[in-house]
């Protein structure tokens, strides 16, 4: 679809370019012919008024013929040169027009492809719990000896699937909300919002006997929306806890890096393969590795939301990881002056 659109757009660019080129070429040719005519007539008048006009008419006629021949040759040269130039513009302009058309449509094409992937992934994730509930419910209804305990178990299973749907819908709504960039940016102490984020994951960390060690510069301030920054950090810390082994340690450091606040979260978890690192921030992406085999719940929206939050703060988020060696997330957000 976009290749046809690119061709049409390139054709439009080329048509505009050739229209401009032909307009100037026609005007240049007309002006050149007018100047040649003026020069030809002027030289002809000088020759006719010359002292040898009556004594050497043949010579004069020959001179006039030669002058006329040069005049026609000059016109022909100008015309050929303009045709050649327009031919070069046509060929070169065609390539340039197609390149510009592809470059113009590339962001739209990428956005369209991302929307298609998002729609397909969202549809798949929505169908899975719905299909599970439907199948389990139909099996239960077909059981003539269904007991009260079995019915309660079925209802509990349905509630679990509904909870998954709720989590998914909340994640999708959060992504849509972030698109509106409805955030309030104010100076906030890094130590405060990082401590609040850590406090939210401490209960899960304590269950696995994981120690969260923090080293935060108390004087550093960031410019941002506190609630959303806490949300992004909680997502990363929560993943660190989920994928870290029991009795391990997570290190959180933060300090000023020129005009930014650098936040570093390092775990001792299972790590991420190099082939999977470029995709960890994609919506609905969950690595098919030991990380997912641990049975951790989720739809792969958390890191996508965290990345959106950081980018809305004009910041960056990066990840470095090696399997069985842990993962390091590094966040940079603007620092308060």
Residues 169 and 193 in one domain: no
Q: CA–CA separation, 317 vs 300, rounded Å? A: 16
Residues 191 and 316 in one domain: yes
Contact between 71 and 40 (Cβ < 8 Å): yes
Domain extent for 8: 2-114
pLDDT, residue 64, reads: 62
Answer with the residue of higher pLDDT: 1 or 257: 257
Residues 279 and 258 in one domain: yes
What pLDDT band is residue 265 in, cutting at 50, 70 and 90?
A: very high
Residues 146 and 22 in one domain: no
**DSSP code string of 150-210:** HHHHHHHHHHHHHHHHHHHHHHHHHHHHHHTT----EEEEHHHHHHHHHHHHHHHHHHTT-
Average pLDDT of every residue of the chain = 82
For 135, the token pair is 């199948």
Last residue of a domain, one of 79, 95, 114: 114
User: How much is the average pLDDT of 277-291?
Assistant: 68
Residues 190 and 330 in one domain: yes
Residues 193 and 330 in one domain: yes
Q: CA–CA separation, 188 vs 131, rounded Å? A: 45
Say what the pTM is.
0.60
- The number of distinct structural domains making up the chain is 3
Among 182, 241, 190, which residue's Cα sits nearest to residue 219?
Answer: 190
Last residue of a domain, one of 67, 92, 114: 114
Residues 329 and 191 in one domain: yes
Residues 124 and 144 in one domain: yes
Distances (CA, A) of 93 to 2, 86, 97, 101, 127: 20, 10, 6, 12, 49
Residues 198 and 302 in one domain: yes
Residues 109 and 242 in one domain: no
User: How much is the average pLDDT of 261-268?
Assistant: 94
Residues 175 and 288 in one domain: no
Residue 310: CATH number of its domain: 3.30.565.10
pLDDT tens string 39-95: 666 555 554 555 554 555 556 566 667 777 777 888 888 888 889 988 898 898 888
User: How much is the average pLDDT of 197-218?
Assistant: 93
Residues 93 and 167 in one domain: no
pLDDT tens string 131-169: 888 888 888 888 888 888 888 888 888 888 888 788 777
pLDDT, residue 192, reads: 93
Last residue of a domain, one of 67, 89, 114: 114
pLDDT, residue 181, reads: 65
Among 333, 68, 121, which residue's Cα sits nearest to residue 225?
Answer: 333
């Amino acid at each position: 679809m976009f290749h046809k659109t690119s061709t049409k757009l390139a054709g439009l660019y080329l048509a505009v370019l050739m229209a401009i080129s032909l307009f100037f070429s026609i005007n240049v040719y007309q002006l050149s012919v007018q100047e040649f005519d003026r020069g030809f007539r002027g030289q002809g008048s000088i020759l006719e008024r010359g002292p040898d006009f009556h004594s050497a008419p043949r010579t004069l006629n020959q001179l006039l013929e030669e002058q006329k021949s040069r005049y026609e040759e000059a016109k022909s040269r100008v015309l050929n040169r303009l045709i050649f130039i327009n031919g070069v513009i046509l060929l070169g302009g065609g390539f340039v027009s197609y390149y510009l058309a592809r470059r113009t449509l590339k962001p739209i094409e990428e956005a369209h492809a991302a929307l298609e992937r998002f729609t397909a992934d969202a549809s798949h994730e929505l169908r899975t719990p719905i299909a599970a509930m439907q199948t389990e419910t139909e099996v239960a209804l077909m059981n003539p000896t269904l007991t009260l305990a079995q019915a309660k178990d079925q209802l509990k299973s349905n509630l679990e699937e509904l909870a998954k749907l709720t989590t998914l819908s909340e994640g999708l709504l959060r992504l849509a909300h972030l698109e509106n960039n409805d955030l309030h940016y104010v100076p906030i102490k890094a130590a405060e919002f990082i401590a609040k984020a850590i406090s939210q994951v401490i209960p899960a960390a304590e269950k696995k006997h994981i120690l969260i060690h923090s080293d935060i510069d108390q004087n550093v301030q960031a410019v941002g929306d506190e609630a959303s920054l806490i949300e992004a950090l909680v997502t990363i810390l929560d993943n660190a806890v989920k994928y870290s082994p029991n009795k391990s340690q997570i290190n959180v450091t933060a300090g000023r890096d020129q005009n930014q606040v650098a936040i570093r979260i390092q775990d001792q978890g299972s790590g991420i393969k190099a082939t999977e690192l470029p995709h960890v921030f994609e919506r609905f992406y969950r690595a098919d590795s030991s990380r997912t085999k641990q049975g951790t719940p989720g739809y792969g929206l958390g890191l996508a939301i965290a990345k959106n939050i950081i980018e809305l703060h004009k910041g960056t988020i990066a990840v470095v990881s090696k399997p069985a060696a842990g993962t390091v997330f590094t966040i940079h957000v603007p620092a308060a002056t």
